[in-house]
Amino acid sequence: MLEFEVGVPVQNFHQGSWVIKLFFRQNPQIKGSNRHRHVFNSKPAIVLRRPYKLSYEQPDHHGPFCYILHAGAAHGVCTGAEFTVYYASEACEPIGVIVPKEIKPNSTIMESISGPFPIRGNMVAVQSKAGTLEKLKIYMQLTKTLTPDFERDLGSKSDAIMLVEDRSAADLELQREGNQIKFVVLDSRVTVHGLTECIYKANANVQDLLPVLQGAAHYYYHLNQSYLCLGIIKNITIEMFRMEHTGVDAMTGRPLKRPCGRNLLKNDIVWIDVRRGFEDDLYGIKITNNGMINLYPYIFYFDNSELSIGE
């Protein structure tokens, strides 16, 4: 049982042992009757593109003026994405299209690919084309049962899916198995731990397969976001400990716990003893922020066996 506290800034913890608690009073992923359904049994939610403020200014107060998007790597902005620009105060046609030139953690220097456009009032930019890391890369070996028509129909249905010819560059491989398609995991971040196939299959037709792949694209989009923010990640250390009881808080009545033993997180892997007698152990995660920016942690569970995201 892991407990973390939502909304508490992870500041510069240098003294003592801190365990950040998160009490799951809300489900940040999905609500309602479908909240326990995995991606292979339901259609993914429609992706809503958020408008971001766009300004025309000098970055860092020096150098030439340029377009500044008030979103960066932490918001999922990546190479290859395109944003359509609008005037915020007017119901109007698009006034331009911009692409990332220099991506920073919380802002991006943009350049126009549609030519210069008038700068006036408040402007917003809405993402209109997926970037490179947002696309789910699929490999299919064409056979009698997986024909070029099948590949063409699948690739033309979604902007979030990219069909690749190089198997080593793909996230998933589609293989025909009877009347179904099985999903072979190719991501080395997963296969290094021994998982090579998803536990669910889909019917071998584009209509049934497309919602599954759109859900998988949503999964990889959020998984890959963490690899965009290296400037932030390098200032964070994460440790995991077994917890021991030390009494009860006199004010709240809650049990008090503290870390004991060694850090269980080694080389990004946690080994937990599940033998009889250990099943009631509690564990806590210590997150240390050595950077200058206050961060607010949200904890999610990415299940590689079915490509789902849970709280």
Q: What's the average model confidence in pLDDT over 36-47?
A: 48
Which band of pLDDT confidence, cut at 50, 70 and 90, is reported for residue 228? low
| Measured distance CA(117)–CA(85) in Å, rounded | 9
- Sign of the Cα torsion 249, 255, 258, 261 reads positive
> Could you tell me the residue ranges of all domains in the chain?
1-36+226-311, 51-131, 135-225
> Per residue in 45-76, pLDDT tens?
445 568 999 999 887 777 788 999 999 887 88
Look at residue 227 in the predicted model and tell me its pLDDT. Answer: 58
At 24, the pLDDT band (50, 70, 90 cuts) reads very low
pLDDT number for residue 86: 92
Q: What is the pLDDT of residue 230?
A: 67
Residues above pLDDT 70, as percent of the chain? 77
| pLDDT for res 213 | 86
pLDDT band for position 82 (cuts 50, 70, 90): very high
More confident residue, 83 or 212: 83
> What's the CA gap between 305 and 32, in Å, rounded?
23
Class of domain 51-131: mainly beta
Task: Tally the C-alpha atoms within 13 A of residue 249's C-alpha that lie toward its C-beta.
Answer: 8
Q: What is the pLDDT of residues 177-219, one digit of tens each?
A: 888 889 999 988 888 888 899 988 988 888 888 888 888 888 8
Beta strands at 123-129 and 51-57: parallel, antiparallel or unpaired? antiparallel
173 within 8 A of 139, measured Cβ to Cβ: yes
Q: Which of 215-224, 233-242, 274-283 has the lowest mean pLDDT?
A: 274-283
Task: Report the pLDDT value the prediction gives residue 80, as an integer from 0 to 100.
Answer: 86
Q: Quick check: 231 pLDDT over 60? A: yes
Residue 125 pLDDT greater than 90, yes or no: yes
Average pLDDT over residues 118-139: 85
- Poorest-confidence range of 10-14, 153-157, 184-188? 10-14
Q: Of all helices (H) and strands (E), which one includes residue 87?
A: strand 82-87
Best mean pLDDT range from 45-49, 147-151, 280-284: 280-284
Mean pLDDT estimate for the chain:
77
- The per-residue pLDDT for 118 is 85
Nearest Cα to 281, choosing from 253, 259, 252?
259
